[in-house]
Amino acid sequence: MSWRYRCESCNEVSGWMGRVDAERTRDAHQAARHPGMKPAGEHLESNAERMDPRLWLYVLAGCAALGILRWIINL
Ligand SMILES: [Zn+2]
C-alpha cells in the first residue's frame, strides 16, 4: 500500500511513497509552509481508498450468475 500527502490549502500533492515518508513529507511541508499551525484540508491518502467501486458490482454479478446457474441445473 502506498501513501501520499495532500495539502488543500496550498493545492499540493506529493508522489506515492511509504507511510513513514508521507508523514515526513507532511512534517516538512508544515514546517516550511505553515509554521506553528496545522493547515485545514490536509491529509494522508492511501491507494487502498482508491479501489474501483465497480469491483463490487462485478462480484455481485458473479454471485448472481452462479445462483442462476445452480437454479437452472437443479430444475
Ligand atoms: Zn500547505
What are the sequence ranges of the domains in the chain?
Answer: 3-73
Low-confidence ranges of the chain (pLDDT < 70): 49-51
pLDDT at residue 55, as a whole number: 82
26 near 5, Cβ under 8 Å?
yes
Distance 50 CA to ligand 1 centre (A): 22
Distance 63 CA to ligand 1 centre (A): 45
| Residue partners of 49: CB distance under 8 A and separation at least 6 | none
pLDDT at residue 40, as a whole number: 83
Place of cell 454479478: 61
Distance 59 CA to ligand 1 centre (A): 39
Rounded to two decimals, what is the model's pTM? Answer: 0.61
pLDDT at residue 51, as a whole number: 64
pLDDT at residue 36, as a whole number: 86
16: nearest Cα among 40, 44, 42: 44
Distance CA 22, CA 3 (A): 6
